Structure 1
């Protein structure tokens, strides 16, 4: 019997999907910025009105909430699956409750909001074929919070997730939380500023919670889709293609 060469593996061209993911990334901030424009006022000015030291308190609460959310993430499979409309509705309800009493209730609401967002991030991982209860996937879910804050200036694509994989240890978990907590705390500080006025803050909290959940869920969907593509086509090619597709257009002189 003659030996025959093995058939080459059939891999689809990832370029169209990467281009679509890059377009989604560029558009991610649009709806939230529109929401803030409708609410009116300057977020920066509102943040400046927060009591001194509150931002440190917010970051501390964010770290604790991330650790707690990570610990209970394994029980996420037992929680009801929220559809694309149910999750933002629940986030809005939580944000409204947090804004009713101003800063005290808004601070108390933070852990619930973070847990709800993390649950949606886990759903994005599942949709791309990843086991959300696998230790490495759970770490990747936390790293989604390291995406640029919805209301911050775009600092470029955070592509560190396509680098070396972390082995799950206590120090590794703490490094991830230490890296993402300041960014998430900054975003939540902006949300709290909008919730600072009792009753009126309920409207802002409901609107922003739904928008924040949508933003981080979108970042998670993009992140895990790229991870899926990287497993097939390699980190380097996928990373280079995504960076090229999201790079600002260069202005050339005639």
Structure 2
């Protein structure tokens, strides 16, 4: 898409909406930065990360992910009454420490760390929702928080798959949360499987563990900001959500082409 085509496609938007969409597009594009740096650090070790896990681990990781996410949904929400929402630095620090501990012992400790890290990631997503004025105690917002886990993850090499979740506006109905979890878990198990594989990389050990958790929490913080930022912009401006999603995609394509 040319620059002229991009400008033409946004003519119908008010200036403040246009500016906010560009800001969100830049946040989206920057989301995978820490993951790209991590892949550069790992070099050849980064290829086929999930496939490098022991077969026994790969066989059980989807079930472990499902259990971890369901536990995280309970614990992350209850923890908000103990620790406030505006503590992103604390989530980052704890995630880094957990990653280091998980990486220190290789695959076994990394697997044991999975439920806690999943909870911290979900807690960070909830915090970002709260920063943008949404109530994480609301069932609709909890639904959206889980939906954010449908993004591709920081080690996806920017294949565009994480944009798919932005356009999906799923209605919360009876049983839909369970259906969403069932849809998210297979993809999330691969995403977290890559994390486990990185933490099991020889030599890097605890350093890789801390780096990968930093990459993950940074990624989900940025992606959740875009996700809830679009929701807020649609509400505040009265603009159709699907229109904003389409315009955001145009901007991301333009930024990538520069």
TM-score (norm 1): 0.85
- Give the aligned partner of residue 155 of structure 1: 160
* Structure ID, larger Rg: 1
> C-alpha distance in 2, partners of 1:187/1:250?
23
Partner of 2:195: 191
Distance 2:53 2:170 in 1: 39
Give the drift of 1:46: 4.4
Q: Where do 1:96-115 residues align within 5 Å?
A: 96-115=100-119
Q: Is the 2:101–2:109 contact (alpha carbons within 8 Å) kept by the matching residues of 1?
A: yes
Contact 2:110 2:196 (C-alpha < 8 Å) held by counterparts: yes
Secondary structure, counterpart of 1:78 in structure 2: coil
Cα distance change on mapping 1:233 and 1:95 into 2, 3 Å: same
**Which residue of the partner structure matches residue 4 of structure 2?**
none
Deviation for aligned residue 1:19: 0.9
Match of 1:19 among 19, 22, 31: 22
Alpha carbons 1:162, 1:235 under 8 Å: kept: no
Shift of 1:75: 0.9
Report the Cα offset of residue 49 of structure 1: 2.8
Instruction: Return 225-234 or 240-249, whichever deviates more.
Output: 240-249
Question: Is 1:94 aligned with 2:98?
Answer: yes
Change over 3 Å in CA distance of 1:112–1:199 after alignment to 2: farther
Q: 1:127 aligns with which of 124, 131, 147?
A: 131
**Which structure shows the higher helix fraction?**
2
RMSD: 2.3
Contact preservation (8 Å) 1:100, 1:198: no
Q: Between Structure 1 and Structure 2, how many residues are aligned?
A: 239
What is the match of residue 39 of structure 2?
A: 36
Hey, what does 1:247 align to over in structure 2? 253
Query: 2:62 touches 2:186 (CA, 8 Å); kept in 1?
Result: yes
* Whole-Å separation in 2 of the counterparts to 1:202 and 1:36: 16
In structure 2, the residue matched to 1:6 is: none
**In structure 2, what is the Cα distance between the partners aligned to 1:189 and 1:247?**
29
Shift of 1:249: 7.5
The Cα of 1:55 is off from its aligned counterpart by: 2.2
1:207 equivalent in structure 2: 211
- Distance in structure 2 (CA, Å) of the matches to 1:182 and 1:112: 19
Q: Distance in 2 between matches of 1:63 and 1:45?
A: 22
| Distance in 1 (alpha carbons) for counterparts of 2:60 and 2:145 | 24
Matched, 1:236 2:242: yes
Distance (whole Å) between structure 2 residues aligned to residue 200 and residue 233 of structure 1: 48
Deviation at 1:162, TM superposition (A): 5.0
Q: CA-to-partner distance for each residue in 1:205-229, whole Å, 9 max, x for gaps?
A: 1111011001011100110010111
Deviations 1:79-130 (A, max 9, x none): 3236333221110101111122211111010000000011110010001111
- State the partner residue of 2:87: 83
Contiguous gaps of at least 5 residues in structure 2: 1-13
